[in-house]
């Protein structure tokens, strides 16, 4: 514990006289050790309550992150299934085009090329 200076305070009283009664327990109040202990206990309680609030906020944040990750995983699974279905459809379309090209000859090829050119021009017009 720090030593109190024995010089006179502002009111002309000796500072040892001013604090001596409190430290020795003669002033009817708490001793400085008890006062310091009480202050420290209050500060600890304040810090504990601040920490518990921060922990509660972090718990809520982690719960929100968990929910968001679960939703994102579900969305990704659905997208994977969708892409798989599109891949299957493209495979079937390419197989049908191959059959059509084997059967039809030049006439069907001209229709196919014309359709592809039309789609490309239409998409260019939409984007522009």
pLDDT digit string (tens) for the chain, length 128 residues: 445 454 444 444 454 445 554 444 455 566 888 889 999 999 999 999 999 999 999 999 999 999 999 999 999 999 999 888 888 888 888 888 778 777 766 777 788 889 999 999 999 988 88
With left for phi above 0 and alpha for psi between -120 and 50, is residue 3 left, alpha or beta?
beta
Instruction: Look up tokens 């968001």; give the residue.
Output: 68
Entry field: residues in the chain: 128
pTM above 0.85, yes or no: no
- Angle (CA) 23-28-33 rounded to 5° is 30
């Amino acid at each position: 514990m720090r030593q109190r200076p024995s010089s006179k305070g502002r009111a002309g009283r000796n500072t040892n006289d001013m604090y001596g009664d409190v430290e020795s327990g003669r002033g009817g109040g708490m001793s400085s050790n008890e006062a310091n202990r009480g202050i420290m206990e209050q500060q600890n309680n304040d810090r504990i309550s601040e920490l518990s609030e921060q922990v509660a906020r972090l718990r809520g944040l982690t719960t929100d992150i968990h929910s968001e990750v679960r939703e994102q995983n579900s969305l990704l699974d659905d997208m994977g299934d969708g892409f798989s279905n599109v891949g299957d459809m493209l495979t079937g379309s390419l197989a049908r085009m191959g059959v059509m090209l084997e059967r039809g000859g030049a006439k069907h090829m001209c229709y196919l090329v014309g359709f592809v050119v039309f789609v490309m021009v239409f998409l260019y017009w939409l984007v522009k």
